[in-house]
Structure 1
């Protein structure tokens, strides 16, 4: 049952969503480098989640 919930697509999707939420907050807090890293994490996790679902 856990392998259906914690599969790679869901994990990457959740990480992308959290990075998407945290990036503007980091920018508002003045942590510009962290914001750029979070945007890169968002892009990478989104790519891997789409690839894992077989859409690309």
Structure 2
């Protein structure tokens, strides 16, 4: 039996082969940025900002 290429199959294969690794890479980049030691002071200051009284 021969497989028929449909729009749904093409879209599903495109998502699995292209977009999934792209989004995993973006997630890893964001996670690395958030956990980088150089950014700790900036994130600590941002966390204290709502509690500050002006």
Shorter-chain TM-score: which interval? 0.3 to 0.5
TM-score (norm 1): 0.39
* TM superposition score normalised by structure 2: 0.40
Q: Which protein has the larger Cα radius of gyration, Structure 1 or Structure 2?
A: 2
Query: Using CA pairs below 8 Å that are at least 6 residues apart, which structure has the higher relative contact order?
Result: 1
